[in-house]
Amino acid sequence: MSGAAARRLCRLDEIGPSGCREFRLGTGAWPMRGFVIRTDGAVRAYVNRCAHLRYPLNYLEDHFTSYDGRHIECFVHGALFEKDSGLCIAGPCLGQSLASIAVVVEAGEVLLAPELDAEELAARYA
């Protein structure tokens, strides 16, 4: 796969009511897991690993936000992260950040930013 197809994470309209959509990059038993999230008219992406113990943030598919939808929440230990920056504002990883992934939206598709290589990114966070 090459070009936009290799960089595609999801369609913008696939981001569900919670404003989040999980994706995987790479192949094999342990592909890199990430998610995209809507934030005040923009889309951000993060690696699906808590800054504290590196566990996946979610228990339920495509569900990454706190009950009120204002923050990203780690459902293992309740840490809260800002949607725009990934900065932990409450919990055991206070002051640390989620690993962000640069994305662009083109023609209704959420894509990895052109400067990123999907295979390299997947290998780094696998």
pLDDT digits (tens, 9 = 90+) for 26-50: 776 678 899 999 988 789 999 999 9
Per-residue pLDDT band for 18 (boundaries 50, 70, 90) equals low
Over residues 89-100, the pLDDT tens digits come to 999 999 999 999
pLDDT: which is higher, 66 or 54 = 66
Query: What's phi and psi for 123, nearest 5 deg?
Result: -65, -35
Predicted confidence at residue 1, as pLDDT, reads: 46
User: What is the overall mean pLDDT for the chain?
Assistant: 89
Class in CATH terms, 3-64+101-125: mainly beta
Residue type, 18: S
Which residues of the chain form beta strands (DSSP E)? 8-11, 20-25, 32-39, 42-47, 72-73, 80-81, 88-90, 100-101, 103-106, 109-112
